[in-house]
Chain A
Amino acid sequence: MELTRRELVAAFLGASVASACTRQAARAPVPGAIVDRAVDTGHKLRTGPLPRAQDFERVDVLIVGAGVAGLSAAWRLSAAGVKDVRVVELEAEAGGTSRSGRNAVSAFPWGAHYLPSPLEDRGPVMRLLRQMDAVTGVDAEGHPSFAEELLIQEPDERVFYRGHWYEGLYLRAGASPEDLAELERFDARMNAFAAARDAKGRKAFAVPGALSSDDAEWTALDALSMARWMEAEGFRSPRLRWFVDYACRDDYGTTAEHVSAWAGIWYFAARQNGKGERSDGFLSWPEGNGRLVRQLASSLGPRQLETQVLVHTVEPGEDGCRVHALDARTGAPRAFHARQVVLACPRFVAAHVVAPWREARPAWMDAFVYSPWVVANLTVSAPPASRGFPLAWDNVFYESRSLGYVVATHQSLRQDARGPTVLTWYLPMAGADVKAERNQALSATYGDWEALVMADLLPAHPGVGALAQRLEVQRWGHAMVRPQPGFLWGEARRAAQQSLGRHLHFAHTDLGGMALFEEANWFGVQAAERALAGMGLKSASWL
């Protein structure tokens, strides 16, 4: 079915953006391409039996997946002195959804692009940041401080509404006293949640989620959606609802209707201590979390990481695991015999790969639901002009379903910010039916995406057409696990975290239920420590 430009924009970005695009003048399309291979090699897993190699390569620990979870496992093992570690990755590059790119102008993210700075001096993330010289000190109360040049510079956020940019993410311009009173009441509620501790002294909402209290007082919030909770609490201000919805789309890839209230509150309460003090802010790099990926990968030797290896079968046994794979370039079969395996891929891949699960699909499988995302990098010869508050790091359109864009060169120390830059545009496909959303995302052509990105930018930046040099589009079919109501504190997620026997351990951000660096890192380290225990090696836990 052929869609008109306007229908296309309405379908992806909403009616408000579509109505603005009819007023836009004709322009030459921006050159570029779709750069992912979303419907390529990985889908071989679904087609019948694949060839198997007879000779097994022996390895102590095989890590399948070089995303943040897999690389965190490798990083943990390396610190424990385990030398014979191999990481295999299906894609041509490590990093998973934290991958990054680089062109003549700047490095830029293809996915995750910041890390909220930790509140407390504990856990593996702090250890990683120390290795990067990002930690400058810890005060008497135990709050760490971070290198100034890594913290997002002011101005950090702005929002576009009807012809003007405004400071901050909450749209204050034109807010009624009732709106502001609701915002204040909401902030007070979130501060109270942030300050809440259980009898054991655990935060009600902590980073990573695994450190949170499991008291029913708070976990009961997981049963209802964030939208329902807002309704029940009498939060009806459209601006506040937009703000909360934006937060859900930003961190979970879907709207407040499909996010549990526990997760929605976690977003606002976990990264602060409830005393009105926030963490130091966000840490970011031009390449986004690609910088963290690089740091984790630096623990590996040159031949320890192999890309374009498609693992299709993992058979846990008495003396370890047998792993069958294909060289994704040549199609040649490969086989590994590993004493320990860390399967650092999402559940929907694990279900195809783990041999016993192919016979009997685990009951928890259907609880894992993933949002598709589309990320586009637009190289511009200069930052686009805009009316109102000046260009910030995060630039959000109030009336669009996209999340807006971040500026790759924002952290540059140059006074003169007029040079070329890269704008990274994010669109979570947030609808309830993820399959339909995925099909919609994959069916759009480059021309469609070009039209969508520009339709989104042009109302705020009428001159951006002349500045745009190249647009590259990355589609993520399963970018983020969704913390739908009942998922985070339900049985399925707990069951999926269990190792299969003594030799096969699992790691991935989806086990945390929230697609965040801290979760992936936590489960990667946890799986590595289980593998260490499985090999009879003693090492004090980092968790």
Chain B
Amino acid sequence: MNKTLLFLTVLVIATCGLIYELIVGTLASYLLGDSITQFSTVIGGYLFAMGIGSYLSRFVERGVAQRFVEIELAVALVGGLCAPMLFLTFTLTSVFPVVLYGSVLVIGTLVGLEIPLLLRILQDQLKFKDLVSQVLTFDYLGALAASVAFPLLLVPKLGLVRTSLLFGLLNAGVGLWSTWLLAPVLANPVRLRVKAVALCAGLLVCFALGDRLTTFYEDQLYADDVVHATSSPYQRIIVTRGKRGFSLFLNGNLQFASIDEYRYHESLVHPAMVRAQKVEHVLILGGGDGLAAREVLKYPEVKSVTLVDLDPAITGLAMNYPELAALNHHSMTHPKMRVINTDAMQFLAEGANAWDVVIVDFPDPNNFALGKLYTTGFYKILKKRLAPGGVAVIQSTSPLFARRSFWCVETTLKAAGFWTQPYHALVPSFGEWGYVLVAQEPASRHRALPEGLAFLDEDTLEGLTRFSPDMSPLPAEVNRLNNQVLVHYYEEEWRRWN
């Protein structure tokens, strides 16, 4: 037997073993948040499992070489597929931790079996002191190679999914080449060889598809730690925390970042509030985070705020998640507040109330279902529900990133018969953001801004309606239920920035 090749085998095995550990640890902290706990439990669990493997190795009595190759193939399969599998189960909130720690145990145990078995295969070839010295040297060398390559080369170049598959392939390769290397001590090398080749082929196919898998999965990754993750029937809800506070993501789209959300919400709410004839009864459509409601409640004349959001998971989070409840000043549980989880268009169409102010804070029109909420069909219903002298405001995506989309919303509102006042504000987390204020008749000022706003004062308020040339009006078609042009504009424009 070629000893150099055997030591090379040790090197590869060791690298693979550490890579799987790093992958699972990284995924755990990406997806579950709290990286210190996740890393320490994953590493601890993995080492413990390796201990189990080492212990179990004593029960392998005969056919040690045969077992070794089989274990290589098993590690290749489980380790190679660990990242895609974990991403896949991530959306199933309840089973994800089970799958995560399950794979830590299985991979750790299998990896723990490798070195003891290899030592026994080599025990007749070398003196004990040389054997231990050389095997462990290559083992630790492999660990160094893995820990350097992982953050510097593998994750940036390949991503987690393909890294995992690549090292699965290497492991399977070790299995394959061991069938020749250990041929003298193997009972049936050909059968093992066939298995190894089949496994290599399978992993290669996955690797080739890995590019698509990666873009799909890594959309779910966030720069900061995930501190809360749930799935409702409507969307995936993620809260992350980083140096600059916390952020809410719905289906991977940023809803707000606590550091600058005041800019967005002050700009959304106050221009409408100060121009409405009365502000007694306010309706918020969308805005389930309660942050727009916080701004509305700064006016003592407000008698009722009705918030309609489709998803009870989001309004529940805004009520009960301590940091979010603190950020929205407990607006969701305010006595003037009424929270209704239903379909906004249906609520407006079936209701009979006349609202003094309506704040329309829907997600951007990135699909046909949301696109409906930006059509003349919706705005005509909105117009009927606005009290005389009432004002509504519509968050209208970015006039910079999606310029035609923004002006399409404005054009559509005009086509629905509204007087419109488009404006925008800079929200660093989002970029330049646009709104359209609408009313039955041109709306003038009726009240002062509340005290203590962080972003808006009289001067700033005035400046919001000025558009620089790169955001100035573009001709756009009217968005109707039967053309949904906005969804097409939006998709085309945002694709250029992403």
| A-chain residues with CB within 8 Å of residue B381 when the two chains form the complex | 413
Known contacts A154-B368, A154-B481, A413-B349; A148/B376 CB under 8 A: yes
- Partner of A149 from the list B344, B346, B370, B481 (CB cut-off 8 Å) is B481
Number of interface residues of B (CB under 8 A): 27
Q: How far is the CA of A280 from the CA of B481 in the complex (A)?
A: 12
Q: Which among B373, B376, B380, B483 is the interface contact of A415 at CB below 8 angstroms?
A: B373
Chain B's closest residue to A117 (CB) is B482
Q: Report whether B372 and A413 are in contact in the complex, using a CB–CB cutoff of 8 Å.
A: yes
CA of A156 to CA of B483 in the docked complex: distance in angstroms?
9
| Given A414-B346, A415-B310, A416-B343, A148 contacting B370 (CB threshold 8 A) | no
Using Cβ atoms and an 8 Å threshold, which residues of chain A touch B487?
Answer: 154
Tell me the chain B residues, 379-435 only, with Cβ under 8 Å from chain A.
Answer: 380-381
A149 CA / B481 CA spacing, docked (Å) = 7
Contacts of B344 in A (CB 8 A): 415
Q: Complex: how many Å from CA A416 to CA B308?
A: 13
> Residue B152 at the A interface, CB < 8 A?
no
* A153 in the interface (beta carbon within 8 A): yes
CB-based contact A154/B370 at 8 Å: no
Contact B481 A153 (CB under 8 A): yes
Out of A148, A155, A414, A417, name the residue touching B480 (CB < 8 Å): A148
**B484: which A residues are within 8 A, CB to CB?**
153-155
Q: Is B480's CB under 8 angstroms from A415's CB?
A: no
Establish whether residues B376 and A413, one from each chain, have CB atoms under 8 Å apart when the complex forms: no
CA distance A413 to B343 in the complex (A): 9
Binary flags per residue of B334-352, CB closer than 8 Å to A gives 1, else 0: 0000000001111001000
Using a CB-CB cutoff of 8 Å, which residues 224-250 of chain B contact chain A?
233-234
Of all chain A residues, the one with the shortest Cβ separation from B487 is: A154
Residues of B contacting A479 in the complex (Cβ-Cβ under 8 angstroms): none
Interface: A323 (CB within 8 A):
no
A390 on the B face (CB < 8 A): yes
> What is the size category of the interface that chain A forms with chain B?
10 to 19
A272 to chain B, nearest CB (A): 16
Q: How close is B74's CB to chain A, nearest CB, in angstroms? A: 30
Q: Are B233 and A148 in contact (CB under 8 A)?
A: no
Assess the B369–A154 pair: CB atoms within 8 A.
Answer: no
Chain B residues whose C-beta falls within 8 Å of the C-beta of A149 in the assembled complex:
377, 481
Q: How far is the CB of B242 from chain A (nearest CB, A)?
A: 32
Question: Which A residues are in CB contact (< 8 Å) with B483?
Answer: 154
| B377 nearest CB neighbor, chain A only | A148
Q: Which residues of A contact B367 (CB under 8 A)?
A: 390
Inter-chain contacts of A153 with B (CB < 8 A): 372, 481-482, 484
In the complex, whether A513 has a CB less than 8 A from a CB of chain B is no
With contacts A414-B346, A415-B343, A416-B234 taken as known, whether A152 is within 8 angstroms of B372 at the C-beta atoms is: no
Known: A148-B380, A149-B377, A149-B481. A415 touches B372 (CB 8 A): yes
A486 to chain B, nearest CB (A): 38
Contacts of B482 in A (CB 8 A): 148, 151-154, 156, 280-281
Nearest B residue (CB) for A413: B345
Residues of B within 8 A of A416 (CB): 234, 310, 343, 369
A152 to B481, CA, bound (A): 8
Bitwise interface map of A from 379 to 402 toward B, beta carbon under 8 Å scored 1, else 0 = 000000000001000000000000
Q: Which of A148, A152, A281, A390 contacts B375 (CB 8 A)?
A: A148
Q: Measured between C-beta atoms, what is the minimum distance from B381 to chain A in Å? A: 8
Within 8 A of B (CB), among A414-456: 414-418
With both beta carbons as reference points, the residue of chain B lying nearest to A155 in the complex is identified as B368
Determine which of B343, B368, B378, B480 lies in contact with A390 in the assembled complex, contact meaning CB atoms within 8 Å.
Answer: B368
Q: Which residues of A contact B233 (CB under 8 A)?
A: 418
Which residues does chain A contribute within 8 Å of B481, judged by CB atoms?
148-149, 151, 153-154
Q: Is there contact, CB below 8 Å, between B368 and A414?
A: no
Please indicate the chain B residues that have their CB under 8 angstroms from the CB of A415 in the complex. Answer: 310, 343-345, 369-370, 372-373
Q: B484 — nearest CB in chain A belongs to which residue?
A: A154
Inter-chain CA distance A149–B370, complex, in Å, is: 16
Interface string of B476-489 (1 = CB under 8 A from A): 00001111100100
14 additional contacts (CB under 8 A) given A151-B481, A413-B377, A413-B381: A148-B376, A148-B380, A148-B480, A148-B482, A151-B480, A153-B372, A154-B481, A154-B482, A155-B368, A390-B368, A414-B346, A415-B345, A416-B234, A416-B369
Between A and B, 22 residue pairs with Cβ closer than 8 Å are A148-B377, A148-B482, A149-B481, A152-B482, A154-B368, A154-B484, A154-B487, A155-B368, A156-B482, A280-B482, A281-B482, A390-B367, A390-B368, A413-B349, A413-B377, A414-B343, A415-B310, A415-B344, A415-B373, A416-B369, A417-B369, A418-B233
- Using a CB–CB distance below 8 Å, which chain B residues touch chain A? 233-234, 310, 343-346, 349, 367-373, 375-378, 380-381, 480-484, 487
